[in-house]
């Protein structure tokens, strides 16, 4: 049985644009191309796509995925390896959720008592937080992923990690605004969204339609959604609503 690219995109949650990109770089050629120019995929391609998406969810970049799949012989052994990586990633996310929970408790205690936050072990603030792989986090936006790779090429691992921690801090700030009851289109939220938009523009100028697609990814991209929800339930939808309100008010 063969499935057209639109059906594969629907089943996998990957855009047809990304599937075409995988074909162009030789990572996932379709089983055949019809006389109408449409790509069709069979079971073998679906299994390969599953492996690609699992590896991307684990933070593996596309060049490394190509190398892994190129060297792979036995599919069962490969799946066992992917399972081990998934278990390790689950443990990392559990550690991240515990880190954020501890930080929330410390901040709540500090605000209630009116005392500064005391951190006995500063390294605990960053447990479970690792720099996100560009290919994974921007999998549906290959042009922006390429621009981000160029922007980070000259950065040290410590600088990249620091940037990731700053992004996590901004997510926590957004969660605080949500918890305080500010609507997504309220001035404090829109001010924070404007800061994010300007930071996005330092990497690459983003057209309005693409910005709205990025907003939708907050809830539709599994990795993004999980990252927001690890901070606070409902944060992914709140971030999306804030970005959509920003686009309507300032980018129209």
Nearest-10 crossing angle of helices 16-24, 5-12: 110
CATH class (in words) of the domain with range 3-72: mainly alpha
Identify whether the C-beta of residue 228 lies closer than 8 Å to the C-beta of residue 235.
yes
For the chain, the average pLDDT equals 79
- How far CA 190 is from CA of 161, 178, 182, in Å, comes to 26, 12, 10
Section 8-14 average pLDDT: 90
Domain ranges of the chain: 3-72, 87-128, 130-252
130-252 CATH:
1.10.490.50
Higher pLDDT, 73 or 163: 163
pLDDT at 24: 93
- Rounded CA separation 145/163 (Å): 16
Q: Is 102 exposed, middle or buried (0-12, 13-18, 19+ CB in 10 A)?
A: middle
Section 135-143 average pLDDT: 61
In three-state secondary structure terms, 39 is: strand
- Rounded CA separation 207/123 (Å): 39
Identify whether the C-beta of residue 137 lies closer than 8 Å to the C-beta of residue 224.
yes
Q: Is the pLDDT of residue 6 over 90?
A: yes
- pLDDT tens-digit map of 28-46: 999 999 888 899 999 889 9
- pLDDT tens-digit map of 65-103: 888 888 765 667 777 777 777 776 677 667 667 766 766
């Amino acid at each position: 049985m063969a499935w057209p690219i639109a059906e594969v995109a629907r089943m996998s949650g990957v855009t047809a644009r990304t599937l075409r990109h995988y074909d162009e770089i030789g990572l996932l050629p379709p089983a055949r191309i019809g006389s109408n120019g449409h790509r069709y995929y069979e079971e073998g391609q679906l299994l390969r796509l599953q492996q690609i998406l699992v590896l991307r969810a684990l933070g593996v970049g596309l060049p490394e995925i190509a190398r892994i799949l190129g060297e792979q012989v036995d599919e069962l052994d490969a799946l066992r390896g992917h399972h081990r990586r998934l278990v390790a990633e689950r443990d990392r996310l559990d550690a991240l959720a515990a880190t954020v929970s501890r930080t929330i408790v410390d901040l709540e205690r500090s605000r209630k008592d009116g005392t500064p936050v005391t951190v006995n072990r500063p390294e605990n603030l960053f447990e479970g937080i690792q720099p996100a792989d560009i290919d994974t986090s921007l999998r549906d936006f290959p042009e922006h992923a390429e621009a981000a790779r160029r922007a980070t090429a000259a950065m040290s691992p410590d600088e990249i990690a620091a940037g990731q921690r700053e992004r996590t801090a901004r997510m926590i700030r957004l969660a605080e605004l949500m918890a305080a009851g500010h609507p997504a289109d309220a001035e404090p939220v829109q001010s924070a969204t404007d800061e994010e938009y300007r930071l996005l523009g330092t990497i690459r100028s983003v057209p309005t339609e693409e910005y709205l697609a990025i907003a939708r990814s907050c809830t539709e991209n599994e990795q993004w959604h999980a990252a927001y929800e690890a901070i606070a339930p409902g944060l992914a939808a709140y971030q999306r609503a804030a970005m959509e309100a920003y686009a309507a008010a300032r980018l129209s």
